Amino acid sequence: MKKILLVDDEESIQIVYREEFEDEGYQVISALDGQTGLAKFKEDEPDLVILDIQMPGMNGVEVLRQMKMIKASVPVILSSAYQEFKQDLGTWASDEYVVKSGNLDELKNTVRILLGKK
Amino acid sequence: MPELRKDPVLGRWIIISKERRKRPTDFLVEHIEGSGGFCPLCPGNESSTPPEVYAFRYKEGVSDGPDWQVRVVPNKYPALVIEGDLAKEGVGLYDQMNGIGAHEVIIESPNHEENFADFAPDKMALVFKAYQERIIDLSKDPRFKYVMIFKNHGRAAGASLEHSHSQLIALPILPRMIVSELAGAQSHYTYKERCIFCDIIRQEIQQDERIVCQNDRFITITPFAPRTPFEMWILPKRHSSAYFSQSEADILALAEIFSETLQRLSRCIANVPYNFVLHTEPLRSGGLKHYHWHFEIVPKLTSIAGFEWGSGFYINPMPPEEAAGYLRESYKN
């Protein structure tokens, strides 16, 4: 079973994403902030990461750049409610950038494609 | 008493606030360390960027391989997209069109730590050559009217990644600033049959109050009505409206004066964030008698607040004559 690490400070997002991705047949582990996300990335060795950008403490782009230093081959999807973070060239370290939406089809497709590539 | 000064090209008024006069050491510049970690612009990480559209390599190498000196790539997450038609339409009063454009990033060095101001002139010339090549290539696309090239240096000036880079945006419309500059320059030409920028250069050389440095081909001045302390313009002494048409010798001379100008600035104020923007003629203009390409360097030392937004007047606490004096002296210390 493929393992997805979800890093997002919104608990409601965590609940919805967990339910939807577990239904898709993935194991979901989660973290509510960047530091914890980074620790779980090292310990739990996920197959893919879904990472929020705007979080207290370490922001998602900083977390992303650290994750890619540790293991660049693990695909990371940046998932934010805002388009404007795309201006930050640090986001280029990600494999995809998906704007959050009530409909998770785009995110699910992106996960499928990236995990299929591995 | 404060002084109001009018920019002769744009007609823009500036308040030179002599009461709030400052010395270079009075400006607080916050040095923010880069966040570190994986850098998508470093050699070896080429797969993190879209395929290159231009690169300079000393030895022939593989496209998207790591042996480059300067590399230009499309923006991975662009605000404007390259594919499609403009589909211009009017909706009542309002005009709209598809967001077509090219958004590219010029990676100026393979070295992550190297600061643009510290580049040797021959290395800086490779970056200026890349700007030329990209303008020439993008001018073949009839959808684009203008190529804007700019650099944000430092977090406060909008740079999101510490690896030295500049950006290019090819637009289907002329930016308002360029429209205003062209109109101001045309108005002067209609009346006097001379390029206003050539007149500015002539007067600045004659007055010798705002010259920062010069060589045979270029001059750096602090403009008469600068928006911010230490704003500087770099202009070719010979009339030319098109940046892309410069010779290799011109580009090397530009790199020499640019390097010296930034060195002078950083000796006055260490780690100063700044933006620079290339101002050049619209694509396929064929050479304009009334316009003169140049670079504008704007240090980020003051903030734009309600008064500036509401009035359009900038308040500058540093008279440009004093700024030029500090910049000239900076090499002697």
- Torsions phi, psi for A36 (to 5 deg): -65, -40
- Judge: A92–B76 Cβ closer than 8 Å, yes or no: yes
Q: Is A112 helix (H, G, I), strand (E, B) or coil?
A: helix
Going by pLDDT thresholds of 50, 70 and 90, the confidence category of residue B20 is low
Distance from A45 to chain B by nearest Cα, in Å?
A: 18
For the annotated catalytic residues of B, the residue numbers are 165
pLDDT at B287 over 90: yes
Q: What is the mean pLDDT of chain B?
A: 91
**Distances, alpha carbon B205 to alpha carbons A115, B53, B188, B193, B261, in Å:** 64, 40, 20, 20, 17
Lowest mean pLDDT among A29-38, A85-94, B139-148, B226-235: A85-94
Q: What is the DSSP string of B57-116?
A: -SS---TT-S--SEEEEE-SS-SSBSSS----EEETTEEE---B-EEEEEE--S-TT--G
Check CB contact under 8 Å for A86 and B39: no
Structure confidence at residue B155 (pLDDT): 79
Interface contact flag, A65 B41, Cβ < 8 Å = no
Asked whether the predicted pLDDT for residue B31 surpasses 70, the reply is no
Contacts of B39 in chain A (CB under 8 A): 65, 93
Asked if A65 reaches chain B (Cβ–Cβ under 8 Å), the answer is yes
Sequence-distant (6+) residues with CB within 8 A of B246 are B132, B236, B240, B254
Domains defined for chain B, CATH in brackets: 3-82+93-329 (3.30.428.10)
The arithmetic mean of pLDDT across residues B278-295, rounded, is 97
Q: Is the pLDDT of residue A34 over 80?
A: yes
| Residue B96 backbone dihedrals phi, psi, to 5 degrees | -150, 160
- Residue B91's alpha-carbon distances to A88, B80, B175, B211, B248, in angstroms, are 33, 21, 21, 49, 47
At residue B30, the pLDDT reads 66
- For residue A15, how far is the Cα from the chain centroid? 14
What is the token pair recorded at B26? 């009075």
Give me the residues paired with residue B89 across strands.
B96
Angle, CA of B117, B112 and A5, to the nearest 5°:
140
Q: Distance (Å) from the C-alpha of residue A56 to the closest C-alpha of chain B?
A: 16
Instruction: Extract the tokens encoding B27.
Output: 């400006």
pLDDT reported for residue B315:
87
Query: What integer pLDDT is reported at residue B32 of this predicted model?
Result: 58
A76 contact partners, CB below 8 Å, separation of at least 6: A48, A49, A51, A64, A67, A68, A93, A94, A95
**Smallest Cα–Cα separation from B300: which of B155, B156, B116, B162?**
B156
What are the backbone dihedrals phi and psi of residue A57, each rounded to the nearest 5 degrees, phi first? 80, -130
Give rounded-to-5 percent helix, strand, coil for chain A: 50, 20, 30
**Is residue B333 pLDDT above 60, yes or no?**
no
Asked whether residue B104 carries a pLDDT value surpassing 90, the answer given is yes
The residue type of B70 is: V
Residues B33, B119, A86: CA angle, nearest 5 degrees: 50
Q: Could you give the CA distance from residue B138 to residue B172 in angstroms, rounded to a whole number?
A: 11
Decide if B40 and A90 are in contact by the 8 Å CB cutoff. yes
Determine the length of chain A. 118
Q: How far apart are CA B172 and CA B144, in angstroms?
A: 4
Minimum distance, in Å, between the CA of residue B79 and any CA atom of chain A: 8
- Show the tokens assigned to B226: 């600068």
Q: What pLDDT was estimated at residue B289? A: 97
Give pLDDT tens digits for B301-316: 877 777 777 777 888 9
Apex CA B175: angle with CA B172 and CA B179, to 5°?
Answer: 115
Tens-digit pLDDT profile for residues B150-179: 999 987 777 778 899 999 999 999 999 999
pLDDT tens digits, B33-53? 566 789 999 999 999 999 999
What is the percent of chain B where pLDDT is above 90? 71
Q: What is the ipTM of this complex?
A: 0.84
The answer to whether the Cβ–Cβ distance between A88 and B161 falls below 8 Å is yes
**Would you say residue B122 has pLDDT above 70?**
yes
Within an 8 Å CB–CB cutoff, is residue A62 touching chain B?
yes
Tell me the average pLDDT across B4-15.
Answer: 91
The answer to whether residue A86 neighbours chain B at the CB level (below 8 Å) is: yes
Tell me the percentage of chain A whose pLDDT exceeds 90. 86
pLDDT at B61: 78
Give the pLDDT score at A117. Answer: 63
CATH number, domain A3-87+95-101: 3.40.50.2300
Whether the CB-CB separation of A74 and A38 falls below 8 Å is answered with: no
Residue of B76, B105, B151 to mutate, testing the A interface (most A Cβ within 10 Å of its Cβ): B76
Total residue length of chain B: 333
Q: Which tokens sit at A117? A: 């590539």
Interface test with A, best of B32, B35, B49, B169 (most A CBs within 10 A): B35
Domain ranges of chain A: 3-87+95-101
Dig out the tokens for B119 from the structure. 């580049």
Starting at the edge strand that comes first in sequence, how are the strands of the sheet with A48-51 ordered?
A27-31, A3-7, A48-51, A76-80, A96-99
